[in-house]
A and B are shown apart, each in its own frame.
Chain A
Amino acid sequence: MKNSDNPLSPHLQIYKWQLSSLASIFHRITGVLNTVGLLFFCFWIISLFLGENFYQSIYTFLDSFFGKFAILGITWSFSFHFLSGIRHLVWDFGYGYDLKKSNIASTLIILFSFVLTILLYLIGKYFI
């Protein structure tokens, strides 16, 4: 039997969990979350077009606890993807591959993704 299908990447459950693999898979997960977020924002814009009554239902959601959680969630997801993306660019220039630097970078990305989330939220809420 001829198998023309491409070989797959090893699936997640066979990895030994480490900082680097955690940061790497979360780059993808947050990428997908950002996609969901962008789709939601498109839906939000479309709801504005559909009129005030339609908008009201999204407003009710956004104004609730879950709405705030969703906004904070997408902000975090962007923050992580942004910081991790910067690291990808650094990698592309050939730096940051040794184990020690990689672990430090992963820790910083995870830590600062939360710092950036809080920063963006405070600036958006109180300065714009």
Chain B
Amino acid sequence: MIKNNATKKWLIQRLLGLFLAPLMIWFLLNIIAVYNKSYLEVLIFFSNPMSIFLIFLLLIFGFCHLSMGLNEIFEDYISNKKIKNVANIISRFLSIIIPLVTLFLLIQISL
């Protein structure tokens, strides 16, 4: 197993990217198909169990991947350690809360 933490992150970031690619293609195609449709038609897409499952994966993988990416950007462009840590904490916190709230409400919609 990989012992080094940075190497682990590097690998996870790329694996998440690999999983995300097909999910994003599926999601974007469907969004393009329904983005200017009526409330009901959009609701039908979002309350389909298959859609919910794939959106679940997309949001979990997506927010992990983007939180790691933002972390790297902060690492490169914020010199002050304190500000960097605060930025990381806020972005990680939001990357957990936002997908969870969205998924919770998505399940509420479909019930």
CB < 8 Å neighbour of B36 from A8, A59, A88: A59
Restricting to B40-88, which residues have a CB under 8 Å from any CB of A? 42-43, 46, 55, 59, 62-63, 66, 69-70, 73, 75-77, 79-81
Secondary structure type dominating chain A contacts: helix
Contact between A45 and B105, CB atoms less than 8 A apart: yes
Select from chain A the residue with minimum beta-carbon distance to B17.
A85
Instruction: Report the minimal beta-carbon distance from B1 to chain A, rounded to whole angstroms.
Output: 19
CB 8 Å contact bits of A16-27 with B (1 = contact, 0 = none): 000000000000
- State in angstroms the CA–CA spacing of A63 and B63 once bound together: 27
Contact between B105 and A82, CB atoms less than 8 A apart: no
Asked if A101 is an interface residue, CB under 8 A from chain B, the answer is: no
- State in angstroms the CA–CA spacing of A67 and B37 once bound together: 12
B-contacting residues of A (Cβ < 8 Å)?
Answer: 4-9, 11, 28, 31-32, 34-35, 38-39, 41-42, 45-46, 48-49, 52, 55-56, 59, 62-63, 67-68, 71, 74-75, 78, 82, 85, 88-89, 92, 120-121, 123-125, 128
A-contacting residues of B (Cβ < 8 Å)?
Answer: 14, 17-18, 21, 24-25, 27-33, 35-36, 38-39, 42-43, 46, 55, 59, 62-63, 66, 69-70, 73, 75-77, 79-81, 98-99, 101-102, 105-106, 108-109
